[in-house]
Amino acid sequence: MVGREPDFGDKYEQVKSLGRGCYGEAMLMRDRTTGLLVAIKYIEKGKVDEYVQKEIRNHVQLTGHPNIIQFKEAFLTATHLGIAMEYANGGDLFDRVVSRRRLPEDEARYFFWQLVQGLAWCHSQGVCHRDLKLDNVLLAGDPSAPQLKLCDFGFSKSQQQDSMPNTLLGTPAYLAPEVLKEGGENQQYNGELADVWSCGVALYVMLVGAYPFQDPADPGNHLKTYRRIFSVQYEVPADVAVSGECLDLIRRILVRDPAQRITLQQVQQHAWYLAHQAGPVPQQQQQERPMQTDEEIMKLTSMAAQMSSGEPGIWNEEDCLVFEGQDSLLGE
């Protein structure tokens, strides 16, 4: 069932749709005042639950790093909660790999280096992503040397605000063995080390153009994928040119026992990773903090969660939040 069309409010004008998910629709919008393009996720008020609020909280917390999609603002229309974010004009890394079949090793390292930088920032803020995959890696800037941007923190978990991860979340091909084994009720695993495993899978996909643990004869069979993950059954095809140092890093990452797996800090000290420093470095743009305080953002999301879309009569004058330097966040 398709949800109702969002009321876009007065601040932004619609450019095009960027896709629809289970919680709402993402739109490319233009700020009427500045002309800047932004990506806005519109979520019906009745669908703003604790998971949406957690995603927003973690995204706000992580904003400020060049390898994270920047959170700009939250606002309310008569029907929806709007989440304005930085727009990445280069699509996602998965599509880039598919269009080229696979990436040369130097290019894969260029993106892997940025991926690890962004993930290290997440971990330094106490947040595990838990759904790292090339589809959740966006590209911005110069197409010949784009800047990588992590996005989609819907499965992320803050170790400062939550317990250790204990649920089976993520995309099957990227899941670490301990997530499959211990992702049940009351079974905890180290989210940071599970993220490292997913990074290793992402690196393999960039280099090979295929998932490491899918059965080539039956790629859609998740059960077979899980079995191959448990046994760490993968190989790099002979026709793929990969250096010994790169293979060594992959082998150190794709280790079944997380206690024996290389950590993210150790990845950053690996010779293959460090070799990137001699290569091209993406242009770093100055990052801005969100337009609102954390308290203002979370107040808006809490208000949206308490409201049922399509009932504008519950609004009163005190509910119309206006922040300095902005138009009313409540659309007409």
Kindly state the percentage of the chain with pLDDT values over 70: 76
Task: Name residue, tokens 């589809």.
Answer: 135
Quick: pLDDT tens for 233-266.
999 999 999 999 999 999 999 999 999 999 999 9
Q: Which residue has the higher pLDDT, 20 or 99?
A: 99
Tokens of 222: 């998740």
pLDDT band at 279 (very low <50, low <70, confident <90, very high): low
Q: Which amino acid is at 214?
A: Q
Tokens of 109: 């390292």
Tokens of 24: 């709402």
Q: In the predicted model, is pLDDT for residue 210 greater than 50?
A: yes
Beta bridge partners of 40: 27, 84
CA distance 239 to 219: 20
CA distance 67 to 235: 30
31 is catalytic: no
Q: In the predicted model, is pLDDT for residue 327 greater than 50?
A: no
Catalytic residue selected from 131, 239, 294, 319: 131
Tokens of 95: 């599509």
| Global pTM value | 0.81
Domains of the chain: 12-87+292-319 (3.30.200.20), 93-278 (1.10.510.10)
**Binding-site residues:** 41, 86-88, 152
**Binding-site residues for ATP:** 41, 86-88, 152
pLDDT band at 310 (very low <50, low <70, confident <90, very high): very low
Quick: pLDDT tens for 127-142.
888 889 999 899 999 9
Kindly state the percentage of the chain with pLDDT values over 90: 51
